[in-house]
Structure 1
Amino acid sequence: MSQSAYVKLVPASIQQVITIDELKDLLLYYRSITTKTGEQLSWEYAEAAFPYTIEEKEEAKGKWFYLKGLDQRKNKYILVGIGKEVDTDNEQHYIQFTLTDISTHGDKGKANEFCKFIASKLKGELHLFNGRVMYYYPKK
């Protein structure tokens, strides 16, 4: 059974709408900063911090993509997409991280890391896989 975590973009977030390309850029930025950290420590940290390739199918253009693990024994797949919830008065955009039935515990740990990074960068509201909520935006 698949599990999902969400980064919701609230009115206090840096931006209220995000595109797939912006989301990919955030993940690539995460990979670049962890690579630089590894270089400073003289350790090949990039593959450990971001052990995935970003893959997109033709029918998913602009909606979702998946992260495919480099070492299929440790990491398999994480689906990443964007969407919006529409209420009567407003709409709220979100980023969804989904673990498939074949995802590993390593995938879940990395998905949690990615969610926390993106939520902190965008100052969003993070709904974790276990149902808990973390608030990264300033409260009034």
Structure 2
Amino acid sequence: MENAYIKLVSASNKQSMTLNDVKELFNYYKEITSKTGTQLDWEYAETAFPYQIKEVDTENNWLYLKSNEPKYNAIIVGVGKELIEDDNVDDPQEQFYIQVTLPQVATYGDKGKANEFCKFLGKKLEGELHLFNGRVMYYYKRK
């Protein structure tokens, strides 16, 4: 299994995240890609988001994206929080994150879509994206 993380840092436009927030962001993604398809006169929505959102474990904050398309299989998306130490603050601070996991059954198509979704979420939330390959992309304004 491979993991990527979108961390909500202090400069992010949102400081907390729920599973419903993630679902809303995916629905927004589907909406804007379908508008792009309408402008191009092409059924782009199905290509851009070839998954159905299945809630597997709401108690532990996990979504399961399942696809019936030949090139795609599955992506798991979760929401969590961790305590981080900050040099400027005495007490550890809570930091929310979105975890995107590629299960063993994931295809190369799933990895490409997962990277695309991670970049979209990172940009939309102005977060810190830790990619599957270990690289970090900063979507928030840095001082």
TM-score by length of 1: 0.94
Supply the distance in 2 between the matched residues of 1:19 and 1:56 (Cα, whole angstroms). Answer: 13
Counterpart in the other structure of 1:26: 25
Query: After the TM superposition, which of the residue ranges 59-68 and 90-99 deviates more from structure 2?
Result: 59-68
Q: What is the percentage of aligned positions where both structures have the same residue? A: 58
Letter in 2 for 1:81: G
Task: Report the aligned-residue RMSD.
Answer: 1.1
Letter in 1 for 2:49: F
**Contact between 1:8 and 1:95, CA under 8 Å: does it hold in 2?**
yes
Q: Mark the runs of 5 or more structure 1 residues left unpaired by the alignment.
A: none
Q: Mark the runs of 5 or more structure 2 residues left unpaired by the alignment.
A: 85-90
Listed as ranges, the matches of 1:39-118 within 5 Å are 39-57=38-56, 59-61=57-59, 63-71=61-69, 73-87=70-84, 89-118=92-121
Letter in 2 for 1:69: S
Letter in 2 for 1:63: N
* TM-superposition CA deviations, 1:37-64 (whole Å, max 9, x none): 000000000111000000012x434601
Aligned length: 137
Supply the distance in 2 between the matched residues of 1:17 and 1:55 (Cα, whole angstroms). Answer: 22
Q: In structure 1, which of residues 124, 129, 133 is the aligned counterpart of residue 132 of structure 2?
A: 129
2:53 counterpart SS class: strand
CA spacing shift, 1:61–1:35, aligned 2, 3 Å: farther
